[in-house]
Structure 1
Amino acid sequence: MSKSMAKGRRVFVVGVGMTRFVRPGANKLLDYPQMVNEAVNSALDDCRLKYSDIEFAAVGYVFGDSTSGQKALYEIGMTGIPIVNVNNNCSTGSSALYLAKNMIAGGLHDCTIAVGFEKMERGALSSKYKDRMNPMQSHVNLHYELYGIEAAPITAQMFGEAGKEHMNRYGTRPEHFAKIAVKNHKHSVNNPNSQFREEHTLQEVLDSPKVYDFLTRYQCCPTSDGSAAAILASEDFVRRNNLMDQAVEILSMQMLTDTPSTFDDKSAIKLIGFDMTRLAAEKAFAESGVTPDDINVVELHDCFSANELITYEALGLCPIGKGKDLVDNNQNTYGGKYVINPSGGLLSKGHPLGATGLAQCTELSWQLRNMAGARQVPGAKLALQHNIGLGGAVVVAIYRLGFAPNNNKAIVSKL
């Protein structure tokens, strides 16, 4: 099968919506069906479609009973469409998006929806089942073998050790990671959907309560409640419904899981998914015909400040070991080479696991459509999304605004 045939039909994001992300339990009257209702109806209003236009739904969540997707969408409409529930840890939202996208690319449907939500408990994440093997047991076992286990959230320990490895290898300093937190908290001030909207100085970030080693509270994402949704459509559907002006094309969307190097290389950086991110990014750039230098705006998985810096290198936004230079030279914010996490990222916007990837898609669609208000990235034409879940799965996607012919040579001209 040729690459063009394997890629399938063109797929466009035509409508997006999300709730505000809030601390768990902040609104005791707001359950997950109400959150989903708000996000889905916002997405429908965005593209002037009806729920009956949707032919397939993928609903992502991590904490919830089976068929919660049906319960949530039944509140909006009962049209008999297939509804698939998705759980892929922190990459759940993007995994739902990947499934909904491929239903169109493969020719099975013309209009699909991906929805993500989470209603979380306060505090650090923990396993809910004590009578069976933890799906991250292999990751935890290797972490224990290399570093032991301390009295801190295990994810903070894993990402913290990756940051320490980066410092030891490349001369990165704790201040580099803290500067990323400063940037993302500053970006969030202009995002009305963000859980936190306060700026913090570098010293405030460094002096905030320690979570693990150099990682302080302001460098760790919070648990959150919230929902987000994206409506996708085929080229024919976009034309029939006159949605060309707002259609955001998914030039490539790649999902990968762990490779043997995650465990064999005995590296904290590899353990948190560096290699699967790198391979997914390489595939996405190759399929889309663009390069990292063509990208204007990025939403990436900054669950911890260390992961944002490490991900710069995995995505090819800078050479390996040079993430600190991107930070020092302000090339990761407004006025720089890229604007990374204009939404505030997970650190400030929040991280309701099932909704995060779809909130990233929503933000990037708004950016490309020049609808991001005070946080608008000037001249944004090409966008990159990265969403990762330990255990593991990563999704990397490249988006562009427009309904131009599918000609990659025209794409790479920086539009």
Structure 2
Amino acid sequence: MKKFSVAIVFCFSVLFLFSQNNSYEVNLSGNAYVTSFRDGAAITQSGLEKWISEKSVVETFVYFQKPETVIVSIKGTAESESVIEVTFQKKKTKISVPAGNFEVPVGTFQLRNAGYQPIKLQGKTKTGNEFGQIRSFVIQSNEKPTYVHDFSDYWGRRGPSVHFRYTMPEETVEWFYNEITVPKGNDVIGSYYMANGFGEGYFGIQCNSETERRVLFSVWSPFDTQDPKLIPDSLKIKLLRRGEGVHIGEFGNEGSGGQSFLRYNWKAGKTYKFLTQVKPDGNGNTVYTSYFFATDENRWRLIASFLRPQTNVHYTRAHSFLENFITGQGYLTRRVLFGNQWFRTSNGQWMEADESVFTYDETARKQVRLDYQGGYVALKNAFYLQNCGFFNKSTPYQSKFTRKKENKTPEINFDELEKL
């Protein structure tokens, strides 16, 4: 009788909480990641599928506005019965999953802190091939949590991209020089650490896989299309010079144009230099040339020189950015330092850049994800960008940062660069 009374009290407590809270459905398709043993599970547009291994860990990330009591349940479908384990707020709960469609209570939880809180899933036992297909978590909460919804799952899982816009001088700028350091442990696969952005393209380094890293330089075509095959010959980016070992191709989906990349095993913890020239050719076109200083080889390397037709500009919109381009890596934090920026004018005058403005993309602007930062590191005298990984402190849009001028003009032999 005593146990029965306790059960009644618990049920009434849960009903009371449900009456006070709003219900939010957090789809795994936009908010979950396979964080251990990825061969044993997959996140698709339908949620968690192909969940066959008990070694796989799946984490769903939700940002809660304040400490409070919340109620969690799990929704999905299964071909056969299984037992899964849900870990939330350090509490492990084993759930018996029935065959067919289900919505099963997980429990009532007291949130200790505001901020991102992961909900972990791990399979324990199954009678069929899979533990089940999990569509969502349903959360009863007083305050609306932050998670990916009414937004692209693809961009939400990729995470926010973050940028710096450098304050340019009024003089005509022909060259931009920048230095990148990816701190040790921040060379995350799927990252693009872009150093030298300009009005018509970008130049930086990528971590493409466990075995491949690239130096990437791209220039958009003046013909607006997502498909490079549609660009008329008269508006295609033309290659003028190519560096040793550099691959030349095309790109699409984010505008279209000419792309070049060098497979180069850059290393975290080392500083690399980037130099880009933007100069009209006097015939209604503009030439874009980028050089990379391979610190490990102690030499400048030409990446490529492209001609962009029907364009008559010098260097504009000097900027840097940090982005993740692999959706499954959006739960991992990455950070990069940018230091010692310089402009060189068309008359050969070096001018040091010391001010940057922090911005971010639509994913952050719509507050779909809150894990974005930018700032200044005094010890390194460098600006930093950081994104992804579901950290809790965000930097306001258009925050301004200033670094100390070092007055050390880059030592570059431009005549030798022309010979590369």
**TM-score class, shorter:** under 0.3
TM-score by length of 1: 0.24
TM-score by length of 2: 0.24
When you count strand as a share of all residues, which structure comes out higher? 2
Larger radius of gyration: 2
